[in-house]
Amino acid sequence: MKRTDLRNIAIIAHVDHGKTTLVDGLLRQSGIFRANEEVQDCVMDSNDLERERGITILAKNTAVSYNGIKINIVDTPGHADFSGEVERILSMVDGAILLVDSAEGVMAQTKFVLRKALESGLRPIVVINKMDRQDARPAEVLDEILELFIELGADDEQLEFPVLYAVGRAGWASLDPDEKGTTLEPLFQTIIEKVPCPEGDDSAVLQMLISSLDYDSYTGRVTIGRIHQGKIRTGQQVSICKRDGDIIKGKVLQVFTYQGLKRVPVEEASTGEIITLTGLDNVNIGETISDPDNPAPLPVINVDEPTLQMTFQTNTSPFAGKEGDYITSRHLRSRLLKELEKNVALRVQETEDPDVFLVSGRGELHLSILIETMRREGYELAVSKPSVIFRKDDEGNLMEPLEQLIIDVPEEYMGVVMEKLGTRRAEMTNMVNNGTGQVRLEFIIPARGLIGYRTEFLTDTRGFGIMHHLFHGYGEHRGEIPGRTKGAAVAFEHGTATAYALGYLQERIAFFITPGTDVYQGMIVGENAREQDMDVNVAKAKHLTNMRASGSDGTIKLEPPRILSLEDALEWIDDDELVEVTPLNIRLRKRLLDPTQRERAKKNQTLR
C-alpha cells in the first residue's frame, strides 16, 4: 500500500552549501509561520554550537504541507565527522535533495553524503545552489556531479536525476539555469513527483526503526524513528528488539508527529510516518519497536568505525575543582555513557585507571564538539593528543586510516602547501587549474598527517586556503611523520603572570597567556622558538632597588598573545602533554607537572 499523502526526504550537501538556509525557505513558503511572526535565519540550527560555527552538527526533523501532501524534511550534517548522524537519518527517508554550490562544485563531503544516499538506494534530486554568485559555473558543476554519480556506481534510475537551479537565501528555484525563479514552487513540485511514496501495510506487524533519541525534562527520553509497517497508538504495549537479540516490553505514553518545527500529539500514526514517542526508557538507536506478541526486528543501522581516539580523564591540575561543577570520574563516566546513547559513531572504553577513559570518534571535529559541549555543561576534564587507530590486515601488516584531502588555494601558495604535505606522507592524485588564479589539489594522506596541520596551513596560505578531507579507507603504514618542530614554554612555579616577565621573554617565546593570568608549575604558557622545551618564570616581578624605582624603565610593549581555541590546543599538544578543559578556561599542561619527574622520564625513555 502506498501513502500518496506523504513524502520523506533528507537534504544532503557539503558544509556551507546552503542546506539549512534552503530548509528555511521551504518552511517560510509552506505557510508554517504566521505573516507577522519573527523568524531567525537558519532556524533549524537550534544548538548554540551550530549557530556559532555555522555548521549543522545534529540532524533535525521538520515537516511542511504542499497541496495537501505532507513532506517530512530532515536537515543533515555535511561534515564527514558526523557520519553517524547522516547514516541513521538516511534510513528514515525515501529520497534526498543533493545540494551543490554553483561555484565550488563537488567537494569532499559532497562525495561522502552522496555515496551514503546511493548505498541506501535513494534517488536524489540535484539542486545547484547559490546561482547568484559572480563565479557561478552551473554547466561545469553539473558535469562534475554526473561524473561523481558514475564514479560512485549509481544505477540507471539514480542517474536519471532531476536538476534544479536555486538561490536558497532568496527563496527561489528554477528548472532552467538561465531563468531566475520567483518561488520554491518548482522544488516542491519536483519533490512530489520524483520522491517515492512510503510503502507498507498498516495491518501488518508493527515495525519502527529507532533512528534518533532526544531528552525532555518533563517526559524523559524521547524516541524518534520511522514506522516501516503497521500502526502505533498512544498507550499501546510494544516490544523493543534489542541489538543483542533480547526482547523487552514497554508502553508508549504519547505519540507525536512533526508540523513545522513543532511536535504535535496524535492518537495514532501509521506506515511511512516519522514520529516521536515518549514513555520508552530502555531504548537505543538502531533497535526496533514492534508488536508485543509477535516481535519482528529490522536490520540494525551500520555506522563507519571510528578512526581517531584520545583519552578523557579527570582534571588533576592544581586548579582542579575551582571552575567546574562536575569534576569526578563518576561524573565523567556517566556523561560519556549518556553520550553513547545518541552519538552512534562514538566509542568509549574504560582503562586500567578508573579516572581515564579511551574515547574514539570519526575525527578531531567530532571529538572536539563533544568536549566543548561537556565544557559548557559544567564539566572539568583533561584530554590527550588525538591519535589514529591502527589495524592489522590478514597477513599481519600494519594498516592506518587514510584521508582524501582536497585543497583550494591561490597559485602563489601552491609550492609551500605541496612541500609541507610531502613531509606528512601525502600523495598527490590530482591537480586542477581553472585559470582564475585558484588551484585545486587532491591528495591521499595518512589521517595522522592531518593532525596539527590546519593551523599551519592557514598560516602558510595567509588564510586564503580552503581544505576539506574525507575518509578514504585503510592502507599500509606510510612511515614516520615529523612531529611538532617547536618546544613548549613551561611555567616552573605557581603565581600570576606579569608584564615584566612576559616582556623579558617574548623575544624567544610566543605566549598563549596575558599578564594577570594565574599559572601553575607544569602549565604550558607559550611556544619556544627552538625545538626543546624551556622552563620559564612568568611570575617574576620587577623589584624596587635603591638605584631606581620599580616603574622607571617606562612602558613594556607586549606582542599580542596567541589565544588557542580548543581545536588549536588539540592540534598543538604533544604526546607528553594534556589540554585542561573547564567551563571558563582552556589550558595546556605537561602530563608530569614536576620538572624533575619530567627529566627523569625523558632519561628513562632515552635509555630504552
Decide if 320 is inside a domain: no
Specify whether 169 is located in the same domain as 272.
Answer: no
Q: Domain residues for 560?
A: 488-579+587-607
Asked if 408 and 465 touch (Cβ cutoff 8 Å), the reply is yes
- Of 149, 171, 194, the position where a domain reaches its end is 194
Give me the helices (H) in 348-478, please.
Answer: 364-376, 414-423, 447-450, 453-460
Specify whether 122 is located in the same domain as 43.
Answer: yes
Q: How far apart are alpha carbons 211 and 58 in whole angstroms?
A: 12
Say what the pLDDT of residue 139 is.
Answer: 93
Q: Comparing C-alpha atoms, which of 405, 550, 552, 377 is closest to residue 471?
A: 405
pTM value > 0.85? no
Cα dist. 174→32, 61, 136, 140, 185 in Å? Answer: 22, 25, 15, 18, 9
CB-based contacts of 179, cutoff 8 Å, min separation 6: none
Gap between the terminal Cα atoms of the chain = 70
Decide if 348 is inside a domain: no
Q: Name residue, grid cell 554526473.
A: 146
Cα 236 to chain centroid, rounded: 37
Q: How far apart are alpha carbons 446 and 298 in whole angstroms?
A: 36
- Amino acid identity, position 377: E
Looking from the CA of 148 toward its CB, the CA atoms found within 13 Å total 25
The CATH number assigned to the domain holding 66 equals 3.40.50.300
Q: How far apart are alpha carbons 162 and 124 in whole angstroms?
A: 8
Specify whether 433 is located in the same domain as 457.
Answer: yes
Specify whether 431 is located in the same domain as 530.
Answer: no
Count CB atoms within 10 A of the CB of residue 497. Answer: 22
Specify whether 594 is located in the same domain as 518.
Answer: yes
The CATH number assigned to the domain holding 495 equals 2.40.50.250
Domain count, the chain: 4
Secondary structure of 233-299 in the HEC alphabet? ECCCEEEEECCCCCEEEEECCEEEEEEECEEEEECEEECCCEEEEECCCCCCCCCEEECCCCCCCCC
Decide if 202 is inside a domain: no
Decide if 200 is inside a domain: no
Say what the pLDDT of residue 218 is.
Answer: 74
The CATH number assigned to the domain holding 252 equals 2.40.30.10
Known binding-site residues equal 16-21
Q: Name residue, grid cell 538516511.
A: 90
254 grid coordinates: 504519547
230 grid coordinates: 503497521
Specify whether 23 is located in the same domain as 156.
Answer: yes
Decide if 359 is inside a domain: no
Specify whether 460 is located in the same domain as 492.
Answer: no
Known binding-site residues for GTP equal 16-21
Decide if 180 is inside a domain: yes
How many residues belong to the chain?
Answer: 608
Q: Which residues pair with 577 in a beta bridge?
A: 590
Specify whether 510 is located in the same domain as 567.
Answer: yes
Say what the pLDDT of residue 117 is.
Answer: 86
Asked if 301 and 343 touch (Cβ cutoff 8 Å), the reply is no
Specify whether 49 is located in the same domain as 178.
Answer: yes
DSSP 454-503: HHHHHHHTTT--EEEEEEEEEEE--------SS-EEEE-S-EE--HHHHH
Specify whether 189 is located in the same domain as 232.
Answer: no
- Of 448, 476, 504, the position where a domain reaches its end is 476
DSSP 11-58: EEESTTSSHHHHHHHHHHHTT-S-TT----SSTT--SHHHHHHTS--S
Mind listing the pLDDT tens digit for each residue in 224-279? 888 999 999 999 999 999 877 889 999 999 999 888 777 889 999 999 998 989 88
187 grid coordinates: 522544488
Q: Is 64 in a helix, a strand, or coil?
A: strand
Specify whether 398 is located in the same domain as 517.
Answer: no
- Of 259, 290, 321, the position where a domain reaches its end is 290
Decide if 13 is inside a domain: yes
Decide if 172 is inside a domain: yes
- pLDDT lower than 50: segments of the chain: 33-47, 49-59, 78-83, 550, 552-553
Specify whether 26 is located in the same domain as 98.
Answer: yes
Q: How far apart are alpha carbons 407 and 248 in whole angstroms?
A: 50
Mind listing the pLDDT tens digit for each residue in 311-361? 999 999 999 999 999 999 999 999 999 888 777 778 999 999 999 999 998
